[in-house]
């Protein structure tokens, strides 16, 4: 049996939303609006809640979609993961944009939660700076083939996005947990550009998420 690297395991965990199995938390009312002033880090949230302007200034590498799937979606929350975890230098290495048709008041904010908790995010867009080698096309094809074989089902597909190849997951899959509960897996598309890893995920078809991915532009242009 092939031994998967830590990086490969982290990629599959991120794509399948395995980390979203935590209990939901209510976001305090004063922290729900990403347009307002700075807010403190919550220990149950990945990253620090920040404003869109802060993201433009401190993470100009981040991307933002022009096309949004569904109806009436708008940006509701922005978080940034610091570049240096133990130093407050004001820079970020990861930006997460969360969209919904209503205020996001429930964590986890991953779109897999929306069927049980409508106040969770319906769409998430994540841009991360990679510190290691960026996967090439051969790695992606091998990753998809080997993980589908390992899981015993065709979960991952190779996608074409923005002139490169990426990893896609369509709707119709579920995560099953030890307590017997199940959670739907959002559709997602993940790809790499230069030293960036970009992911779009939501409870929409993979076709719709690819349209969203193709529409991405630099955060500085908005």
- 3-state SS class at 2: coil
So where are the chain's domains?
Answer: 6-221
Taken as a whole, the chain contains a residue count of 222
- C-alpha 200: how far from chain center: 6
In terms of Cα–Cα distance, which of 191, 179, 187, 176 is closest to 209?
187
CATH class of the structural domain 6-221:
alpha beta
User: Residue 115: which residues within 8 A CB-CB, separation 6 or more?
Assistant: 184, 203
> Is the CA virtual torsion 52, 212, 109, 41 positive or negative?
negative
Separation of alpha carbons 190 and 166, rounded Å: 5
The angle at the Cα of 129, spanning 125 to 132, to the nearest 5 degrees, equals 130
Separation of alpha carbons 185 and 170, rounded Å: 9
CA dihedral 185, 186, 192, 193 (to 10 degrees): -170
Separation of alpha carbons 84 and 48, rounded Å: 13
List, for residues 84-141, the tens digit of each pLDDT value: 655 555 688 999 999 999 988 876 567 877 877 888 899 999 999 987 778 899 999 9
List, for residues 20-47, the tens digit of each pLDDT value: 434 455 665 555 555 444 443 344 456 7
pTM attached to this predicted model: 0.83
User: Residue 205: which residues within 8 A CB-CB, separation 6 or more?
Assistant: 69, 170, 171, 187
What's the pLDDT at 4?
52
Separation of alpha carbons 105 and 83, rounded Å: 26
In terms of Cα–Cα distance, which of 74, 77, 65, 69 is closest to 35?
77
List, for residues 150-194, the tens digit of each pLDDT value: 888 899 999 999 999 999 999 988 877 777 877 788 899 999 998
């Amino acid at each position: 049996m092939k031994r998967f690297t830590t990086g490969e395991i982290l990629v599959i965990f991120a794509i399948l939303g395995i980390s979203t199995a935590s209990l939901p938390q209510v976001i305090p009312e004063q922290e729900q609006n990403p347009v307002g002033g700075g807010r403190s880090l919550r220990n149950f949230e990945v990253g620090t809640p920040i404003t869109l302007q802060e993201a433009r200034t401190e993470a100009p590498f981040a991307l933002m979609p022009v096309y949004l799937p569904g109806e009436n979606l708008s940006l509701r929350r922005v978080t940034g993961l610091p570049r240096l975890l133990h130093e407050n230098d004001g820079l970020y290495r990861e930006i997460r944009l969360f969209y919904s048709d209503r205020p996001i008041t429930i964590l986890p904010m991953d779109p897999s939660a929306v069927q049980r908790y409508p106040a969770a995010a319906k769409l998430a867009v994540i841009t991360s700076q990679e510190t290691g080698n960026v996967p090439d096309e051969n790695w992606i094809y091998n990753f998809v083939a080997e993980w589908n074989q390992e899981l015993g089902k065709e979960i991952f597909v190779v996608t074409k996005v923005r002139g490169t190849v990426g990893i896609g997951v369509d709707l119709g899959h579920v995560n099953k947990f030890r307590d017997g509960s199940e959670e739907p897996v959002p559709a997602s598309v993940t790809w790499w550009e230069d030293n960036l890893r970009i992911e779009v995920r939501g409870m929409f078809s993979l076709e719709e998420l690819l349209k969203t991915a193709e529409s991405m532009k630099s955060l500085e242009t908005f």
